[in-house]
Amino acid sequence: MTAPQRSAHETELVELAKRVLPAGGFGNVGSDIVIERGQGGRVWDVSGNEYVDFLLGSGPMFLGHNHPEVTEAVLAQVPRGTTFFANNEHGIRLAAEIVDAMACAEQVRFVSSGSEADMYAMRLARAYRGRDKMLKFEGGYHGMSDWGLLSLAPKRPGNFPQAAPDSAGIPRSVQNEMLVAPFNDATLAESMIREHVDELAGVIVEPFQRLLPPAPGFLETLRRVTAELGIPLIFDEVVTGFRFAYGGAQAFYGVTPDICTLGKIIGGGFPLAAIAGRADIMKHFDRALVGDDGFLTQIGTLSGNPVAAVAGLASLAILKRPGAYDGVYAAGRRLMEGFAAMLKQASLPAQVVGSPVMFDVVFAAGDVHDYRGTLRADTAMQARFNRTLRAHGILKSEGKTYMSTAHTAADLDQTLAAFAAAVAEESGRRAAAE
């Protein structure tokens, strides 16, 4: 297969981006590609190159690009108004749908991004408990706030519970307000929660951390000890919400937190996210109920805007239908099993990690159950694989494969063929080096 060719127009755009955008991009995937359009499980760049899309906008396009029912709902709303900075019917009905779907949700507050949702969820826990410290898990991603960017991807992990900043510009004082525990170590997590109970405002966790499934009993332990001590448990379901099941990871794993954050799928490809939780905690968004001292200020120009809300409602209506998830789980399993079989046959030190709806290859041998396990990965091998996949028309992020309900058998066939080519190249490279 011929590698994608770049047109003069795309080359010009890439050079313009380098001049007007820091690092030549929006801060997301590599800046060497400019996407023009998407349809179903595929996208096309401005040079006309076609890709099977496993990036999917970093997850929101769970139904694929330009789903006709979502597009129809959006096009019907746009002439009626795109934002009002006031309640609208669609936002209200979307909140009601979330309350019905998510076990922890009694009330909902909309924001525009997952980063905002996680930031406000942590602030909400502080307002409710009247304490400052949060406990998170090393490698967990909770957005771009100062608190979220602590010990997400430390290059030199320190001793628990010390937090390490992942970005310049984070005040040193913030580090002292975040405690860090290893993911999937229930015993240590419980010990740390009990030790710091008088300081803790809450515990925040991705119930499925990046690509890592929770170990049996891990989430249950977090729920048991936080409930016993009266500490809010926050599930960051920005990624997993409506992806693992209609009721999110909390339904999939059967563990109900006190608060959850949602994003990506609930906006149907438009900027929308939410904090959802128990009414006695969510009341801190209502000055009339908690007074000035307990009131949590939250204002967002585009929060709950009607275009995003109708896209979200249309998306959830589709996912609520019987059997809506069957195809995407089957497709994901086919790729996971195919990748694993090829890696095993080639005796490459790599393994497929994750869930059928969201997974990737970790280029490391041995058990990978927490962030430090992922640090053993051969990032150079990973980069080579991703370059080969791109050359064969597969678009994905560096370390995650998102599945959609729109991916077809032809998409999967092309992906498996591309992965076989990457395995063959790597095997040949290793043989030549011996």
Other beta carbons less than 10 A from residue 99's beta carbon: 14
Q: Say if CB 414 and CB 394 are below 8 A apart.
A: yes
Q: What is the rounded distance in angstroms from the CA atom of residue 213 to the CA atom of residue 243?
A: 14
Find residue 212's DSSP bridge partners: 209
Scanning 295-378, the segments in alpha helix (DSSP H) are: 306-319, 326-345, 371-374
Strand pairing class (107-111; 273-277): antiparallel
Cα–Cα distance between 361 and 401 in angstroms, integer?
Answer: 9
Q: Report the distance separating Cα 270 and Cα 260, nearest Å.
A: 20
325 is known as an active-site residue: no
- 261 vs 105: CA distance, rounded Å: 10
Q: Is 141 a catalytic residue?
A: yes
Q: Decide: 147 and 174 in contact? Cβ < 8 Å.
A: yes
- 259 φ, ψ to 5°? -140, 145
DSSP alpha helix (H) spans, 44-148: 68-77, 89-101, 114-129
Other Cβ atoms less than 10 A from the Cβ of 214: the count is 22
For the chain, the straight-line distance linking the first and the last C-alpha, in angstroms and rounded, comes to 28
Which among 45, 53, 185, 236 is annotated as catalytic? 236
Yes or no: say if 63 and 70 are a contact pair by the CB < 8 Å rule: yes
Q: Which of 120, 128, 246, 264 is catalytic?
A: 264
Tokens of 229: 């001590």
- Catalytic residue, candidates 51, 120, 141, 371: 141
* Neighbour-count burial of 333, counting CB atoms closer than 10 A to its CB (0-12 exposed, 13-18 middle, 19+ buried): middle
Q: Which residues are catalytic?
A: 141, 236, 264
